[in-house]
Amino acid sequence: MITGAYAVLHLKLSSEKEAEIVSRSIQPETESTIRYRSRVKVTKEGDSITLVFESKDITALRASINSHLSWLILLRNIYIFLEDQKRQDERTIHGEQE
């Protein structure tokens, strides 16, 4: 266990499906980070995910949080874009106009 600085980030997402997608997508990033300065554990429960950050120092903690927040924002934007595209495709299939 790394000690020194820690933070917990709890995110409630719009659905359990979105939480599963985000959790599975961010997991490889938590496994590939350099672990001698910080570590991140991701858990999912229902429509929420929790990230627990442990770092040797506050600088490493801040860097780890910033990296993961950037990835989470990117994943959220991709998810929203794909859901919008799916809705547009469904309207097109059913003959609806925008």
Quick check: 98 pLDDT over 60?
Answer: no
Residue 58 is assigned to a structural domain of this protein: yes
Per residue in 1-20, pLDDT tens?
566 899 999 999 989 998 99
CATH number of the domain enclosing 63: 3.30.310.50
Task: Count the domains in the chain.
Answer: 1
**How far is residue 42's CA from residue 95's CA, in Å, rounded to a whole number?**
42
Distances (CA, A) of 35 to 3, 4, 25, 31, 32: 12, 14, 19, 9, 8
**Residue 61: domain span:** 5-93
Per residue in 31-81, pLDDT tens?
766 667 889 999 999 999 999 999 999 999 999 999 999 999 999 899 889
pTM above 0.95, yes or no: no
Residue 98 is assigned to a structural domain of this protein: no
pLDDT at 10: 96
Residue 64 is assigned to a structural domain of this protein: yes
Instruction: Please choose, from the candidates 40, 77, 42, the residue with its C-alpha nearest in 3D space to the C-alpha of residue 61.
Output: 40
Give 37 or 82, the one with higher predicted confidence: 82
